[in-house]
């Protein structure tokens, strides 16, 4: 048979660009993390500069390492491997370039807006709505390029790495869109269409699955391509790939509510999340085992090859993190671990160990190929490996200890039945040595990253004057013809007389059905979408439709105009990064903070502010607990109220003007979401806000503070804080306009 060969050249230029972006943004994101770690060890490192204060820096760190470092690494890895796996150049160089430059612009926009306090406040989805739209567009460009490349491929079957890429593309699109449904109030402010309980549910459906489908599935895909390449060994088990792929993507999507145990989320939802999280252990370990066992017969290479060392440690950390994740999802463990640094240690084991080391292994493997020059120093990459590994251990071990210390100190009662550590700052102080150890560990990890950057730079300098364009050849894709004669059955060949069901079982077990799916990328993608969407809807629909999930409380009314403005400041300063607003129905918490939080108290909270960490105490019942002057002093200089507090000072809140003119826009957006503000309240919003601000400012003057504070941000923040958690203590105010009843 005469087969017509086609010639083609791969586009490695875009890969080189994404590699550069990975390294540059990796350093930026990790340095932001190091500064944040220093700020927790000593608040002096906030330097009283608003733009880099912890509440604004932490989202910058998380967004930079997730979307800039890991995101660019995903694009680099996918663009390189996809072309080779499909034996074709990417469908459109233009789309590849739009993908690259568009993504970098998004990152730059994030790097500008987050330090300015422009945020939607939902973890890992903080970017404001115009950037959300840009992300959607660029993701569509990426998806279109990938799907069209699939269409013009010269390889019939999709390799396992591509299954994971497809799952990533489809699921991230779904997560991003449904988690980012907002009503804009201004260009830089918007409100989630969901409120309170439902908003928390959607956020953690997104948050957990962002970890799943941005930090797990694409990296599993990269593992399946780069690890066998580096080891020069085939993947251990095809069937295990199928099993763990489908179970992983189906089960992962259910697990999000385990982030909300003992909160106001209905218990059935968090219990369901826990059950699926525990089940998730098995498919996760399927991936780990498939990765590690791929090295069978090649373990001797690990000793001499730093790339394989990075991969082995990465996969081991994946196994460890995916064992720990289900463990943390168990209610009784979560009871202890939630809001503590245990979660931070868990996340960093996964991020530094699994994601980071997989990226570094991939970069070292890619460098000689894309720069067409030998790696500058294998020795330096070996040193990077050891420095990085020690860095990870020095980071996570103290932070695990910190998490356990916090959790136990918060929960302990003395013999008289009182909280053993009633003062929150006592628990914080105990963590300081561990926080300093983290600084050292994180510093070592960044040192390793800088070594990698230097090594890649020097390798790039060795590149040829002009990159050689290797021309590859492959036959065009033959039509997908289903064979009329199935391969002979082992059962038949053995002469066994068995029932028809046994033949069907054999067909299923040999995964021939799946081989057929692999030849049909669009059908395959449809099945992925079905798995993800159906699993999501099982939880989302009841959460939104069953009214009893959120019993209403008649005394709960909308925020006043000034409180709403204060809430915007609370969000903008990133207070949710350190303070929860969710008192769990646990005695240690009700003793410390007050009455546990009820679902009906959050019906006007667009977006919710439950938080996920307690670097400082919970604030849901802080309303009315302290006088206004206390809050002013505390925001100006926390140490004057609580010596050794690690809260950063916010002196600019006393000098920056409150933008009263924005308040009606905030209220109008809220009204569109169903918050019962009437037209009169909207029309007089600024008057109401000024009146309430004057009351607070006059009180402060009586206490000896300077006058003129009624125009400053601090009064709005005080108004908001004084309102928190107070509704259930009040009688419903009959006939009073909602916005002025407080």
Partner 1 sequence: MGSVPDPVRRLLGWRDVIRGIRPAGQVLLYRGHRPGGVFVLLSGSVLFERGGGGLKSLREVGVPEGGAVLLPLPTELDVESPVQITVATEVDLVFVPGTLIESDEQIARALDSRELRREGLRGPRAG
> Rule CB under 8 A: is residue 695 a binding residue for partner 1?
no
Helix 217-231 with 160-179: angle, nearest 10 deg: 160
Binding segment for partner 1 (CB under 8 A), chosen from 52-60, 353-361, 467-475, 636-644, is 636-644
Compare residues 426 and 486 and give the one whose CB is closer to partner 1.
426
Q: Binding partner 1 by CB under 8 A: which of 174, 629, 654, 673?
A: 629
Residue 58 C-beta-side C-alpha neighbours within 13 Å: 22
CB 638, min distance to partner 1, A: 11
Over the window 337 to 366, marking each residue x when it contacts partner 1 by CB under 8 A and - when it does not, the resulting string is ------------------------------
Q: Does 488 bind partner 1 (CB under 8 A)?
A: no
Q: How far is the CB of 576 from partner 1 (least distance, A)?
A: 22
- Distance between CA atoms of residues 308 and 511, nearest Å: 30
Residue 643 binds partner 1, judged by CB under 8 A: yes
Q: Is 184 helix (H, G, I), strand (E, B) or coil?
A: strand
CB 66 within 8 A of CB 215: yes
Q: How far is the CB of 424 from partner 1 (least distance, A)?
A: 9
Alpha helix stretches (DSSP H) within 114-128: none
Whichever of 255 and 717 has its CB closer to partner 1, that residue is 717
| Cβ 701 vs Cβ 547: under 8 Å | no
Bridge partners (DSSP) listed for residue 474: 6
- Tell me the closest approach of the beta carbon of residue 40 to partner 1, in angstroms: 18
Pick the closer one to partner 1 by CB: 191 or 650: 650
Which of residues 473, 480, 534, 703 is near partner 1 by CB under 8 A? 703
Strand, helix or coil for residue 315: helix
CA 125 remoteness from chain centre = 7
Answer yes or no whether residue 555 interacts with partner 1 by CB under 8 A.
no
Shortest distance in whole angstroms from residue 425 CB to partner 1:
7
Of 16, 87, 613, 631, the residue at the interface with partner 1 (CB under 8 A) is 631
Q: What span, in angstroms and rounded, lies between the C-alpha atoms of 615 and 709?
A: 29
Which of residues 109 and 629 has its CB atom nearest to partner 1 in the complex?
629
Per CB under 8 A, contacts with partner 1 among 147-166 are none
644 binds partner 1, rule: CB under 8 A: yes
Q: How far is the CB of 629 from partner 1 (least distance, A)?
A: 5
- Fill in the DSSP letter of residue 620: T
Question: How many Å apart are CA 253 and CA 232, to the nearest integer?
Answer: 33
Rounded CA-CA distance 449/681 in Å is 55
Can you tell me the distance from the alpha carbon of 5 to that of 17, in angstroms, rounded to the nearest whole number? 30
Instruction: Evaluate the omega torsion of the peptide bond into residue 103 and state whether it is cis, within 30 degrees of 0.
Output: no
Of 373, 345, 564, whose CA–CA distance to 459 is shortest?
373
Name the minimum Å distance from CB 386 to partner 1: 39
**# residues contacting partner 1 (CB under 8 A):** 25
- Closest separation in Å from C-beta 591 to partner 1: 11
Structure tokens at 160: 């396992």
Instruction: Select from 238, 246, 460, 626 the one that contacts partner 1 (CB under 8 A).
Output: 626
> What SS3 class is residue 713?
helix
Residue with tokens 């059955």: 489
How distant is the alpha carbon of residue 206 from its chain centre? 8
CB of 237 to partner 1, least distance (A): 57
Q: Which token pair is 613?
A: 């960490």
The torsion angle over the Cα atoms of residues 87, 89, 95 and 99, rounded to 10 degrees, is: 70
SS3 percent helix, strand, coil of the chain, rounded to 5, is 65, 5, 30
640 makes contact with partner 1 (CB under 8 A): yes
Give the integer Cα–Cα distance in Å for 192 and 448. Answer: 40
Shorter beta-carbon distance to partner 1: residue 329 or 428: 428
Q: Is 297 in the site for partner 1 (CB under 8 A)?
A: no
Asked if 522 is part of the footprint of partner 1 (rule: CB under 8 A), the reply reads no
CB of 166 closer than 8 Å to CB of 524: yes
Kindly write out the interface string for residues 654-693 of this chain, putting x where it contacts partner 1 by CB under 8 A and - elsewhere. Answer: ----------------------------------------
726 near partner 1, judged by CB under 8 A: no
CA-only gyration radius of the chain, Å? 28
* Region of residue 486 (left: phi > 0; alpha: psi -120 to 50; beta: else): beta
**Binding residue for partner 1 (CB under 8 A) from 189, 568, 628, 727?**
628
Instruction: Report the residue number, 268 or 626, with the smaller CB distance to partner 1.
Output: 626
Nearer to partner 1, 354 or 593 (CB): 593
Look at the block and give the residue holding tokens 């002196």: 651
Residue 44 or 537 with smaller CB distance to partner 1 = 44
Spatial separation of the C-alpha atoms in residues 212 and 203, rounded to whole Å: 14
Question: Is residue 567 a contact point for partner 1 (CB under 8 A)?
Answer: no
Pick the piece of the chain touching partner 1 (CB under 8 A) from 107-115, 335-343, 459-467, 622-630: 622-630
Interface with partner 1, residue 625, by CB under 8 A? yes
Q: Is 225 in the site for partner 1 (CB under 8 A)?
A: no
Taking the complex as a whole, how short is the minimal distance between the CB of residue 339 and partner 1, in angstroms?
19
**Token pair belonging to 450:** 């800088």
How far apart are the C-alpha atoms of 277 and 204, rounded to whole Å? 13
In whole angstroms, what is the distance from residue 80 CA to residue 221 CA?
A: 12
Q: Is 374 in the site for partner 1 (CB under 8 A)?
A: no
Q: How far is the CB of 705 from partner 1 (least distance, A)?
A: 8
**Which residue carries 């009624």 as its tokens?**
710
Q: Kindly tell me which of 252 and 421 has the beta carbon lying closer to partner 1.
A: 421
Does residue 710 interact with partner 1 by CB under 8 A? no
Contact 578, 173 (CB under 8 A): no
Q: For residues 34 and 717, which CB has a smaller minimum distance to partner 1 in the complex?
A: 717
Asked if residue 636 binds partner 1 (CB under 8 A), the reply is no
> Would you say 577 or 722 has its CB closer to partner 1?
722
Minimum gap (Å) between residue 413 Cβ and partner 1: 11
Is 708 among the residues that bind partner 1 (CB under 8 A)? no
Q: Are the C-beta atoms of 653 and 662 separated by less than 8 Å?
A: no
Taking the complex as a whole, how short is the minimal distance between the CB of residue 640 and partner 1, in angstroms? 6
Q: Smaller CB distance to partner 1: residue 508 or 630?
A: 630
Nearest-CA neighbor of 213 among 496, 564, 528? Answer: 528
Binding of partner 1 at residue 299 (CB under 8 A)? Answer: no
Reading the block at residue 471, the tokens are: 């021309």
| Residue owning tokens 């100006």 | 636
Query: What does the per-residue mask of binding to partner 1 show for 429-468, with x meaning CB under 8 A?
Result: x---------------------------------------
C-alpha distances out from residue 519 to 12, 93, 161, 479, 634, Å: 26, 25, 14, 10, 63
Query: Would you tell me how many other CB atoms lie within 10 Å of the CB of residue 290?
Result: 25
Closer Cβ to partner 1, 318 or 421, answer by number: 421
Q: Which is nearer to partner 1, 13 or 430 (CB)?
A: 430
Residues 406-435 that bind partner 1 (CB under 8 A): 414, 418, 420-423, 425-426, 429
Q: Which of 467, 630, 672, 676 binds partner 1 (CB under 8 A)?
A: 630
642 scored as a contact of partner 1 (CB under 8 A): yes
> Is there binding between residue 587 and partner 1 (CB under 8 A)?
no
Report the residue number, 43 or 218, with the smaller CB distance to partner 1.
Answer: 43
- What number of H helices and E strands is found in the chain? 30, 4
**Contact flag: residue 372 with partner 1 (CB under 8 A):** no
Place of tokens 């968090």: 270
Interface contacts to partner 1, rule CB under 8 A: 414, 418, 420-423, 425-426, 429, 625-631, 633-634, 640-644, 703-704
């Amino acid at each position: 048979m005469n087969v017509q060969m086609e010639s083609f050249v791969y586009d490695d230029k875009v890969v080189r660009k994404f590699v550069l972006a990975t390294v540059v943004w990796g350093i930026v994101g990790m340095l932001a993390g190091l500064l944040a770690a220093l700020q927790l060890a000593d608040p002096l490192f906030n330097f009283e500069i608003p733009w880099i204060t912890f509440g604004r820096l932490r989202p910058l760190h998380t967004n930079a390492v997730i979307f800039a470092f890991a995101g660019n690494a995903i694009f680099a890895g996918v663009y390189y491997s996809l072309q080779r796996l499909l034996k074709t150049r990417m469908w459109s160089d233009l789309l590849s370039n739009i993908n690259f430059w568009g993504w970098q612009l998004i990152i730059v926009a994030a790097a500008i807006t987050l330090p300015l306090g422009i945020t939607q406040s939902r973890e890992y989805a903080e970017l404001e709505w115009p950037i959300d739209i840009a992300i959607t567009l660029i993701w569509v460009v990426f998806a279109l390029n990938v799907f069209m490349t699939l269409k013009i491929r010269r390889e019939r079957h999709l390799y396992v790495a591509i299954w994971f890429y497809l799952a990533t593309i489809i699921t991230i699109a779904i997560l991003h869109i449904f988690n980012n449904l907002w009503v804009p109030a201004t260009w830089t402010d918007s409100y989630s269409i969901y409120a309170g309980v439902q908003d928390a549910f959607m956020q953690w459906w997104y948050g957990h699955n962002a970890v799943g489908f941005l930090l797990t599935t694409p990296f599993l895909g990269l593992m399946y391509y780069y690890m066998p390449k580096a080891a020069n060994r085939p993947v251990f088990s095809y069937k295990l790939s199928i099993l763990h792929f489908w179970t992983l993507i189906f089960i992962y999507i259910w697990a999000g509510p385990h982030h909300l145990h003992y909160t106001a989320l209905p218990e059935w939802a968090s219990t369901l999340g826990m059950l699926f999280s525990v089940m998730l252990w098995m498919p996760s370990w399927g991936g780990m085992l498939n990765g590690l066992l791929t090295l069978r017969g090649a373990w001797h290479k690990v000793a001499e090859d730093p790339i394989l060392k990075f991969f082995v440690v990465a996969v081991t950390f994946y196994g460890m993190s995916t064992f720990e994740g289900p463990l943390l999802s168990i209610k009784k463990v979560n009871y202890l671990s939630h809001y503590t640094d245990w979660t931070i240690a868990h996340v960093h084991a996964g991020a530094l160990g699994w994601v980071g080391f997989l990226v570094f292994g991939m970069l070292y493997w890619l460098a000689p190929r894309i720069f067409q020059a030998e790696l500058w120093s294998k020795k330096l990459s070996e040193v990077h490996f050891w420095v990085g590994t020690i860095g990870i251990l020095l980071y996570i071990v103290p932070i695990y200890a910190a998490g356990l210390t916090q959790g136990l100190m918060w929960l302990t009662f003395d013999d008289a039945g009182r909280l053993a550590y009633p003062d929150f700052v006592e628990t914080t102080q105990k963590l300081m040595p561990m926080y300093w150890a983290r600084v050292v560990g994180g510093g070592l990890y960044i040192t390793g990253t800088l070594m990698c950057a230097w090594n890649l730079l020097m390798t790039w300098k060795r590149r040829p004057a002009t990159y050689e364009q290797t021309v590859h050849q492959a036959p065009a894709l033959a039509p997908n013809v289903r064979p009329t004669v199935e391969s002979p059955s082992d059962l038949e060949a053995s002469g066994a007389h068995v029932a028809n069901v046994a033949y069907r079982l054999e067909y299923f077990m040999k995964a021939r059905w799946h081989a057929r799916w692999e030849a049909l990328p669009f059908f395959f993608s449809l099945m992925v979408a079905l798995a993800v969407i159906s699993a999501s809807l099982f939880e989302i629909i009841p959460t939104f439709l069953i009214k009893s999930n959120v019993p209403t409380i008649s005394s709960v009314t909308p925020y006043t105009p000034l409180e709403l403005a204060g809430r915007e400041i609370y969000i903008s300063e990133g207070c949710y990064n350190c303070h929860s607003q969710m008192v769990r129905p646990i005695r240690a918490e009700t003793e410390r903070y007050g009455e546990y939080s009820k679902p009906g108290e959050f019906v006007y909270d667009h977006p919710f502010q439950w938080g996920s960490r307690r670097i400082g105490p919970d604030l849901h019942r802080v309303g009315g607990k302290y006088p206004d002057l206390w809050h002013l002093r505390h925001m100006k200089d926390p140490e004057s109220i609580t010596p050794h507090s690690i809260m950063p000072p916010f002196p600019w809140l006393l000098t920056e003007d409150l933008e009263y003119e924005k308040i009606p826009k905030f209220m109008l957006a809220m009204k569109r979401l169903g918050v019962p503000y009437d037209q009169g309240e909207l029309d007089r919003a600024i008057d109401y806000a000024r009146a309430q601000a004057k009351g607070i400012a006059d009180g402060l003057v009586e206490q000896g503070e300077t006058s003129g504070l009624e125009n400053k941000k601090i009064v709005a923040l005080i108004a908001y804080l004084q309102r928190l958690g107070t509704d259930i203590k009040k009688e419903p105010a009959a006939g009073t306009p909602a916005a002025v009843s407080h």
